[in-house]
Structure 1
């Protein structure tokens, strides 16, 4: 078990430490459950009472906390609690259980190139011409296709599949079962089909009935920038002709689907079950909440935030808060929702007025 002093942890966080900074810490824990050798995470005033219920001798505290009155021997101060939490989890990160070196069951094409210090787990398959940078950590049952390129410091968990010609930058992180570089969902009918007829005329007739669909194969690939993270069972389609592109620092949650030819900018967050349809362009620093659906061939500007379950079906300018289905500006959606809730009362009021008018007409 790796242990750190309070001073070492504070230095890693760039934070201030007080008290006995030589105190050894083996792990982090919630305040009420912390043992004497664990660092309690009590980064808000609301954690003061749970902290005194535990046995922690040291804690990460909010600015201005009286650490001695809380019975602690040492403390680290956190002016921005969640950011410090990010640093703490890096210090105590549990590395994937992948021994250094290359497992005997891994199948690596002789033309593939591995950088220094590789950790390649059981039953990994790496195709011809693939290039993987230094310090790669690749868990079991990962497949990496022909001519794929992956930068330095990649961490790729079990069952991830990376297709041919995919290009990935440095510090890549993929959770279990991610699929990057799969064929896009592209089909065409021999004659104009029902969707085309419905768009053109608003109707569906027997004239647009089809016997089947012809596949449009995806000849492009996928390009991921540096520091991209991909969640479990997330799928990123390769482009039809051009590439699907995801910018530096963008993070995709579990069960996200990015369609073919999509472009996503830098430092975006796509939360669980987001679906982005083909050929859509998304700017930088965009946040799409859980289950947001984005239509095809539209443009979303930079610095857009869409609340969970929003359905975005038209272009969105930069800097806008979106909500609802169909998505609209958040304040308009809230007003619309309020109006919708008032409808039953409004209907009842109209019914009462109708009775009054009807009685008045009868008395004339």
Structure 2
């Protein structure tokens, strides 16, 4: 059994990790922590998990959680995983971090968008943890940077087109919409029901923190420097992300060629589903699952390829993908504990 510790288990990504891992056949959850709920029974905070987990938020220090665990999931806010990573690596354990702390190849990019980077042990070997792109590079790492939710939907949507050189790298436009849970568990005025309900708003326009993460991975796939126009929107639903991506095909490339390439690229992937001609994703169809649905269309009027991608922001966009990464680190089939259809309706 894989012994798992979860640091910062009281937020939405934390509770989603518990929901998934409590049913995982190869996992034993040995410790959970929270700064605000020490000593409290987990199922008292989240009654939906009563009978599935019988743990209290641990009063032990993080060092003790690390000692007891084979792998630690960190669901802490940005900027808090660096010291934890140093301790995990020193104990020869694994860390899967759900914040942005280790997502960038160049730490100066992180500093520009998030803030200062503390001193990191040179033994920390990290990888950007999008399994469909980087799984073969994960074997020798001790820290996996779990991707952001928006970037997951966008990168999976664009990866085949860029890897096979089917689309132009200039002028890519991304319009993404997310449910309110993407803002996290911490209360804020902007996320009150009366503020969100019956309203859609753009935010982070021309300055959203996920932009450089998206550009880093798209540049890797295309082996060129890519810049994108990315605009996220908040919509009045609990979960889900829908990204609509507009790009131009290279000369001689047809929608048929694109579809063949997407189906080939994802032919051995458990969680990426390419929809049939004329079908397009709905967030409802990925709700509660680790799946990504992708639809394709060509607009003859404008000459644009339109890619529509949908995920559950808390599962494939966060905790489900983290478990997928854990499975990969420990040599399990990636769909272990995750092979469940969406909840519908």
For the criterion TM > 0.5, the same-fold answer is: no
Higher relative helix content: 2
Q: The TM-score by the shorter chain falls in which range?
A: under 0.3
TM-score between both structures, scaled by the size of structure 2: 0.26
Q: Answer 1 or 2: higher relative contact order, Cα 8 Å, separation at least 6.
A: 2
TM-score between both structures, scaled by the size of structure 1: 0.25
Answer with 1 or 2: which has the greater Rg: 1
Higher relative strand content: 1
